[in-house]
Structure formats: C-alpha cells, structure tokens
C-alpha cells in the first residue's frame, strides 16, 4: 500500500496542512513527490501537490487519488523543501508557496496536451501510442487518462520522445495567426499559371511563390514579401488553389534577433581582485554572500559573466536576477551574447506559453543560465553553482502578495542548500546589505571606478523655488532649458526623467481645492489623458473627468501636477523643433513597445527621451550627454521610511545614464528641497556619506537595519470592527513580546481605505524576539479562521511597503 501526502489547493487556514490519500494500484509507479494530482476533497475534485509518499497513515478511511496531472514532478526535492521554508518564514499557506514556484501555465486554467517532441516521428513510439500522434495531432490529457496510457507516455517522455504542453483554455487569449498554404499540386499550379490572364500579375506572383515554397506561410509575411494585398490571396482561395487557416503559435521572443557572440575580456586589476574570492568559493563549493559594490559602468556585469563561465565549466548552473524594468534586450544580449542558447530568459513580457517553454528548458537541463525577474529565483535547477542578484537594492525583489518573500532571502537559502556563492551587485546597495557587509556578514567587494575612467557626470542641483522667485513658472529651469537647446543644436541626446510616483497627476479644482478621490479607497484618482479618464490604482475604479467641480460648480477643475503627457505638451510649446519620445505606462502598454521606443531613440530618431522610472535603468547609449530630473522631491514625501534611500538610489541611477562613453555628461536635478541630504549627496554621487547619514536616522527611529519590522494589517467594512480587532491584536502582541520591542498601534494605515474596507495596522520593531513567530502564527490562526465575519488580517514580515 502506498499513501501520498497531499497539500490541496484550498487556501484557507483550516486546510493548510497535508492530507493522506491512497495511491490506486495503477498509479503506484507513476505518482512521485513534487507531482500535481487530482484528489477528492469534500464533494469536489481539486488539485493538490504530492509532498511525500509513505506506507502508513493514522487515518483509517483513506480516499483515493483520482489521477495524476503530471508525467514528471514539477517541483524537485529542493523546491519542495524550500516550500516548507517559505511557509515558515513568510507565514503563508503552503499551497501559495508551491504555486509561486511554478510558471502560470501550470495553473489550472490551462489545457494539457501531449505531443511528439521536435524531430520525433510517430514510428519511434511503441505501437500502442503511434495512433495518437500520427498526423501531428496532440493528445488530450483527459483522453490519456481514460485510455490508461499515462505510464506509457511517462516512459516515452522520460526518453525525450514526447512532451507535455499547456494551451491557454481561454479562447481570446490564444494567439491565432492567419496562414496560407497551397492546396493543389505543383503541376496544377503550373497549369493555372498558364491559364491566368496577363493582368492577374499579383495572383501569378503568389502562385509562383508557392511553386518554389510548397508549404504554409504566415499571411502577413506573404503579403509583405510579395507586396500584394490580402484580397489577392482571397481571390486565389475562392478558386480553391490556396487555403487560409488559423494556427496557434508560440513564438520564441528572441527568435528574430541574432546575438553577437562575445568573449571574456581581460580583467582590470580591480576586477581581478574582486572576482578572486568569488571564483574561490565556486571552486571550493562554499556558500558565501558577496556584496559587489561599484558604480554603474564599473565592470560588474563582466564579473558576473566570468563567474558564470566558471560555474558552467564545472557543469553547474547559474541564476541571475535583474529587476523587471532592466530586463531590456540590451541586458539580455549581454548574457545571450556570452552563453548563447544556454540561457533561458523569464520575464513578465512573455506569454504564459513562452514562459512555460523557457521554464521547461531549465527543467530539462537544456540551459545552464536562467536570467529573470524576481520569480526566476525558483528556477528548477538541481545543481546551482552561483546566484547573482543585480541591482540588489531594488524594491521589486520583494513580493507584496502571499508568499511575501524577498528574493534575496530565497537566494541565500538556495545557495546554502547548494553550497554555492551569492553575489549581490549594486552601485547603491540597500542599507541592510551594506550594513551586513560592514559587519562582515557579507563579503564586501568594491569596484571604485568606471571602466573607461570617465569621471562621473557633473551634477547641478537647481532650486525651483528660486526659479519661481525669478518669475519662471515653467516646469523647466532656465539652466535646463538652455542645455536642452544646446544639445539639440549639437545633435546630442537628452533623457528627461519624471518621477511620477506619489500623487503627481490628480484632478483638482483650482477654485475650491476639491480633489477627485476614489469612492472606494481613500486616495486620489490618477489622471490619464488617453481616455480623458481617471483611474484608481488600488481597486481599478474608472470614471471620466468631471466638467465642473462637484463641490462648487467651478469650471476650473483639471488635472494638477506634472504627468509625462503634460511635460510633452510643454516641450512642444517651448522647443517645437525637438523630437520627443515619451515612455510611460500609456505608451509602453503593448508588448514590444518598450523595446521599440528604446530602439528608435538609440537610432537617433529623437532628441529627447521623456519618461518615468522605467527609463532609469539599463539605458546605455553613447550619444546621451544630458540628463534632467524634473522633480526630485515627489518620492521624498511618501509615508515610507525608505523614501530618502529610494530618492538617493533613483537620482544616482538616473545620473549614471549620462556620459557613459566618450562624450562627457551633464546632469540637472530640479528640486524644491535642495537642502535635503539625499538630494544633495546624490548630486555628489556620494554613497558612503549617504550611508552614514541615513544610518543615523534609521538608528534614531528604530528602523532597519537596526531593527526588524513586522506589519500586521487589519481590514473590514466596518470601521469599529477594524479598530477593536486591531486593538485586541496589538494588546496581545504587547503581552507576548519583550520590553525591547517597539509596538506601534493600533494606527490607521497610510491608505486608510481600499475597496470600501477600512484599514488599520500594528507595526512591530524588534531586534530579537524568539516569541514573535509563534505570536504572529497564533494571531493568523485565530483570525484567518474567523474570516467568515469579513475581517481580514495579514502579516508582512520585513515589509517594504508600509501602506
């Protein structure tokens, strides 16, 4: 008798444990830990993960597993164990931990099919299976189960003859492409060609094309190549010479790009010194965390590449994390250029199918390097030799939903298990990491200068209050305007950066000061000119901009603050000759748009690139000699203890975009608070000073890295219910922790209401509290069970957003 422990896909407190199920005889050799299965649960059949297999159970009346969902485990042993760890560290439901590790295509809304692997002929399969795949068909998983052939399929899949794919069930999201193919023989085409009248030249062209290429071709490609309209194809189709049909395709996102191969560069002295301890750790299979601290352009990426080469040479694998917004083609090219097809890239721009394909390459060990954003930390490698986190200070490495993990913590955990080094790279390390390096918990490696020995660009801070006093009401200071004109005259390029975080484009009445807020959440709606609409970023509520103020009926109600669109409009007025490319959520929403706009800028099709933080990273074009930051302060005033740190990092990063090559660069930072240390020190790009200053502030206010934080957020539709529950929770926390813990609350959350739910919080600051995890678990146990009355309690350990 074999029994499987199964974690079921029912994310509630009561069901957050494993259940025992009997494995039916016929599945005994099939089902393994790490596979997904369908099990009966109450009256329903649901999905679950097999976490282990045993021969005994304390439960007498076991129900049977209905069927497996996988041919092979989707989670390896290390990842299953990592799931336990994640559950414990982030206090999430185990099912969420497992799901976070898998690509979206492996979640339920997808249809599973089996097909022949590339290049395999049906004849290579055992006789019983051939029929299913003869005409290039795919086999439905449900049919495989009905026909009892899963063990057979499993064997052939293990031998590489078959593969499992996932098709999106939802019809609208399928990517259908129109194809054309000839439906008659070449002889008939020839005959037809002769019969066609002389003026049917376009039709002839198509027929001649199919004489040469007797296979299907994408309609778009055909019409483009032959410069014919689709009506001509239709005419041939109506004569039943060709046929149009739809085909679903998954594209390789990098298919049409060729990668110039690069070879390792001879390292500079500074690089040699920095890489040596990393190579030693790789060689000795030792776990160690390195903090590679070096300004942009100091040669960090080359160190990553050569470390990875060492790992590959040892037959091991590498994971490289980069923030989503720097996963640009330029970045990917660096890795593909060095390691070619050994690289899989995982990022949110891929369709579910494409992501699954990349994930499969990792699982099948067809690649050695996984490059991706946060979730790539779960790449299913089994022999990891190094984990690299570039721009380690980026807040996007922290996931805000369950499981609320930080990729850095997961990286260190996996590296410990795999006995390998972690390299954290940054020009502006997070205070936490730099403090750990100072205390020798991390090994600090420094690259002090830029590769080209170019001085850092000259930064000038402009006090916008002075501008106003001098009568300049424009959003451009006189200096910035002058330099813009200068660059246009010299045919050099400028990047204008607008920090749009915060409440920068809300709708306000100029007469009475009324601001249009979301009716469900206590925040202002964000203005989008595209549809003359306003949107709530928290609940998605949308409405049109009112013509008159609902409060005082004034007609002077309009958007306020500087969105990128407004800057673009103003540029059009003051510098009509400037060619501007705008990059923000509105212009880059479509797939590939981001990349295309950058390419246009690189090709010199514009003088000015204007955008939000998404342009702060990765831009490395030789012709950029001016960077302007229009409003440095917007982020400083957010209710967030990291706002100074984020401001400093962002300004430093943006400044680094200028003068990276031969031409020297200049940076203009416009601000209303030039005296603030994070702005002043960003002007000097002085991280060390900034670190000292900010550490004082953090120590004084009991913030990380001196204290850890945990945040409990409570929400409910009734204000009184929230307040009293938060009070009870806060009192309980106080009773369980030592006097050294600082417990703040109950307090109203910075965003007091989201989606009609009032929000209160309790913030805990602490150094060492052995009781804390147990206390938080007790609270969650208590309240997640009571979720029926609508009270929601969530816990974020080491939160990044305190709102």
User: Which residues are near ligand ADP by CB under 6 A?
Assistant: 265-268, 271, 294, 296-302, 451
In the numeric block, which tokens belong to residue 508? Answer: 């306000």
Q: How many residues does the chain have?
A: 803
- The reply to whether 503 sits near Zn ion by the rule CB under 5 A is no
In the bound state with Zn ion, the residue whose beta carbon lies nearer, of 541 and 641, is 541
* Interacting partner of 722 out of ligand ADP, Zn ion, none (Cβ under 5 to 8 A depending on kind): none
Which one of ligand ADP, Zn ion, none interacts with residue 541, CB within 5 to 8 A by kind? Zn ion
- Print the binding letters for residues 541-580 with Zn ion: x by CB under 5 A, - otherwise: x-------x-xx-x--------------------------
| Sheet of strand 526-528, all strands in order from the earlier edge strand to the far edge | 526-528, 533-535, 542-544
Looking at the Cβ atoms of 536 and 679, the one nearer to Zn ion is 536
Q: Which helix (H) or strand (E) covers residue 598, if one does?
A: helix 593-602
- The nearest distance, CB 511 to Zn ion, in angstroms, is 5
Check the CA dihedral 433-434-436-437 and report its sign: positive
Closer of 294 and 421 to ligand ADP (Cβ): 294
- CB of 538 or CB of 621, closer to ligand ADP: 621
Longest CA–CA span in the chain (Å) reads 97
Out of ligand ADP, Zn ion, none, which partner does residue 296 contact, by CB within 5 to 8 A per kind?
ligand ADP
Which segments of 292-349 does DSSP mark as H helices, in order? 300-313, 329-339
Please report how many Cα atoms fall inside a 13 Å half-sphere around the Cα of residue 541, on the Cβ side: 18
Backbone φ and ψ of 318, nearest 5°: -130, 140
How many whole angstroms separate alpha carbon 579 and alpha carbon 577?
A: 6
The residues near 321 (Cβ < 8 Å, ≥ 6 apart) are 372, 373, 374, 376, 377, 387, 388, 389, 390, 397, 407, 411
Nearest residue to 642 via CA among 675, 671, 678, 687: 678
Cα 614 off chain centre by: 13
Least separation in angstroms between residue 327's CB and ligand ADP is 14
Q: Say which entry of Zn ion, ligand ADP, none residue 267 contacts (CB below 5 to 8 A, set by partner kind).
A: ligand ADP
Q: How far is the CB of 304 from ligand ADP (least distance, A)?
A: 8
Q: Which is nearer to ligand ADP, 87 or 296 (CB)?
A: 296
Measured from the CB atom, is 97 or 507 closer to Zn ion? 507
Q: In Å, how far are 766, 767, 782 from 737, measured between CA atoms? A: 9, 11, 18
Task: Output the smallest distance, CB 732 to ligand ADP, in A.
Answer: 48
3-class SS of residue 681: helix
Please say whether the beta carbons of 499 and 635 come within 8 A.
Answer: yes
Parallel, antiparallel or unpaired: strands 624-629 and 493-497: parallel
**Residue 301 interface partner, choices ligand ADP, Zn ion, none, CB cut-off 5-8 Å depending on type:** ligand ADP
Q: Is residue 507 near Zn ion by the rule CB under 5 A?
A: no
Cβ nearer to Zn ion, comparing 99 with 713: 713
Using CB under 5 A as the binding rule, whether residue 521 contacts Zn ion is answered as yes
C-beta closer to ligand ADP: residue 302 or 769:
302
Q: Residue 732's binding partner, choosing from ligand ADP, Zn ion, none, with beta-carbon cut-off 5 to 8 A by kind?
A: none
Give the nearer residue to Zn ion in terms of CB position, either 104 or 534. Answer: 534
307 binds, among ligand ADP, Zn ion, none (CB under 5 to 8 A by kind): none
Which does residue 271 bind out of ligand ADP, Zn ion, none, counting CB within 5 to 8 angstroms by kind?
ligand ADP
Q: Is the peptide bond before 705 cis (omega within 30 degrees of 0)?
A: yes
DSSP β-bridge partners for residue 67: 38
Selection from Zn ion, ligand ADP, none that 587 binds (CB < 5 to 8 A by kind) is none
Q: Which is nearer to ligand ADP, 267 or 719 (CB)?
A: 267
Using CB under 5 A as the binding rule, whether residue 518 contacts Zn ion is answered as: yes
Question: Least distance to Zn ion from the beta carbon of 402, Å?
Answer: 21
Q: Using CA atoms, how far apart are residues 273 and 282, in angstroms rounded to an integer? A: 15
Out of ligand ADP, Zn ion, none, what residue 585 binds, judged by CB under 5 to 8 A for its kind, is none
Q: What is the dihedral of CA 25, 26, 31, 36, to 10 degrees?
A: -110
Kindly give the pairing relationship between strand 289-294 and strand 317-321.
Answer: unpaired
Please state the closest distance from residue 759 (CB atom) to ligand ADP, in A.
40
Binding site for Zn ion (CB under 5 A): 509, 511-512, 514, 518, 520-521, 536, 538-539, 541, 549, 551-552, 554
């Amino acid at each position: 008798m074999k029994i499987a422990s199964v974690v079921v896909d029912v994310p509630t407190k009561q069901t957050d444990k494993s259940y025992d199920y009997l494995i039916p005889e016929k599945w005994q050799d099939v089902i393994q830990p790490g596979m997904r299965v369908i099990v009966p649960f109450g009256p329903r059949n649901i999905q679950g993960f097999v976490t282990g297999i045993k021969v005994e159970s304390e439960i007498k009346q076991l129900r049977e597993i209905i069927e497996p969902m996988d041919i092979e485990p989707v989670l390896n042993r290390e990842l299953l164990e990592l799931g336990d760890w994640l559950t414990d560290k982030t206090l999430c439901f185990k099912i969420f931990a497992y799901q976070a590790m898998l690509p979206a295509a492996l979640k339920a809304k997808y249809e599973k099919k089996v097909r022949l692997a590339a290049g395999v002929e049906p004849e290579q399969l055992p006789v019983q299976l051939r029929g299913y795949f003869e005409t290039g068909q795919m086999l439905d998983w449900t049919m495989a189960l009905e026909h009892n052939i899963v063990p057979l399929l499993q064997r052939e899949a293990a031998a590489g003859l078959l593969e499992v794919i996932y098709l999106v069930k939802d019809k609208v999201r399928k990517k259908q492409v129109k194809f054309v193919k000839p439906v008659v023989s070449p002889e008939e085409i020839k005959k037809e060609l002769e019969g066609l009248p002389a003026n049917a030249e376009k039709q002839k062209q198509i027929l001649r094309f199919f004489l040469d290429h007797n296979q299907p071709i994408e309609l778009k490609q055909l019409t483009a190549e032959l410069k014919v309209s689709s009506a001509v194809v239709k005419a041939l189709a109506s004569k039943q010479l060709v046929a149009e049909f739809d085909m679903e395709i998954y594209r390789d996102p990098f298919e049409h790009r060729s990668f110039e191969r690069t070879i390792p560069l001879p390292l500079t002295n500074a690089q040699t010194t920095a890489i040596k301890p990393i190579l030693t750790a790789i060689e000795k299979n030792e776990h160690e965390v390195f903090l590679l601290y070096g300004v942009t352009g100091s040669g960090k990426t080359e160190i990553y590449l050569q470390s990875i080469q060492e790992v590959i040479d040892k037959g091991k694998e590498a994971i490289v994390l980069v923030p989503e917004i720097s996963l640009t083609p330029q970045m990917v090219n660096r890795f593909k250029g060095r390691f070619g097809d050994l690289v899989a890239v995982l990022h949110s721009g891929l369709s579910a199918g494409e992501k699954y394909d990349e994930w499969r390459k990792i699982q099948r060990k067809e690649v050695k390097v996984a490059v991706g954003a946060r979730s790539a930390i779960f790449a299913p490698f089994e022999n990891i030799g190094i984990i690299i986190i570039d721009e380690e200070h980026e807040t996007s490495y922290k996931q805000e939903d369950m499981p609320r993990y930080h990729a850095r913590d997961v990286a260190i955990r996996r590296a410990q298990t795999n006995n390998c080094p972690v390299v954290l790279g940054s020009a502006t390390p997070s205070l936490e990491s730099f403090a750990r390096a100072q205390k020798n918990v991390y090994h600090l490696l420094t690259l002090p200068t830029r590769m080209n020995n170019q001085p850092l660009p000259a930064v000038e801070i402009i006090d916008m209050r002075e501008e106003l006093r001098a009568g300049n009401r424009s959003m451009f200071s006189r200096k910035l305007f002058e330099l813009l004109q200068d660059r246009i005259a010299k045919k050099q390029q400028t990047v204008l950066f607008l920090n749009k975080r915060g409440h920068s484009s809300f709708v306000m009445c100029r007469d009475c000061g009324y601001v249009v807020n979301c009716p469900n959440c206590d925040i202002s709606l964000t203005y989008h000119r595209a549809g003359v609409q306003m949107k709530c970023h928290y609940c998605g509520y949308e409405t049109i901009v009112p013509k008159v103020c609902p409060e005082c009926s004034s007609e002077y109600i309009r958007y306020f603050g500087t969105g990128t669109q407004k800057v673009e409009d103003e540029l059009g007025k003051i510098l009509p000759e400037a060619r501007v490319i705008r990059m923000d959520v509105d212009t880059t929403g479509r797939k590939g748009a981001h990349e295309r706009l950058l390419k246009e800028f690189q090709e010199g099709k514009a003088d000015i690139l204007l955008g939000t933080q998404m342009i702060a990273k990765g831009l490395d074009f030789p012709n950029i000699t001016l960077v302007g930051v229009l409003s440095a302060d917007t982020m400083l005033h957010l209710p967030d203890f990291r706002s100074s740190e984020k401001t400093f990092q962002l300004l430093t990063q943006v400044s680094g975009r200028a003068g990276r090559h031969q031409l020297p660069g200049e940076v203009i930072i416009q601000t209303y608070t030039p005296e603030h240390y994070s702005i002043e020190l960003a002007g000097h790009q002085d991280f060390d000073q900034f670190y000292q200053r900010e550490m004082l502030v953090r120590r004084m206010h009991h913030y990380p890295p001196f204290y850890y934080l945990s945040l409990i957020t409570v929400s409910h539709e009734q204000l009184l219910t929230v307040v009293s529950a938060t009070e009870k929770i806060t009192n309980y926390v106080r009773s369980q922790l030592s006097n050294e813990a600082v417990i703040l609350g109950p307090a109203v959350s910075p965003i007091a209401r989201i989606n009609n739910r009032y929000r209160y919080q309790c913030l805990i600051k602490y150094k060492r509290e052995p009781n804390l995890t147990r206390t938080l678990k007790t609270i969650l146990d208590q309240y997640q069970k009571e979720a029926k009355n609508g009270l929601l309690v969530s816990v974020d350990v080491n939160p990044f957003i305190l709102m």
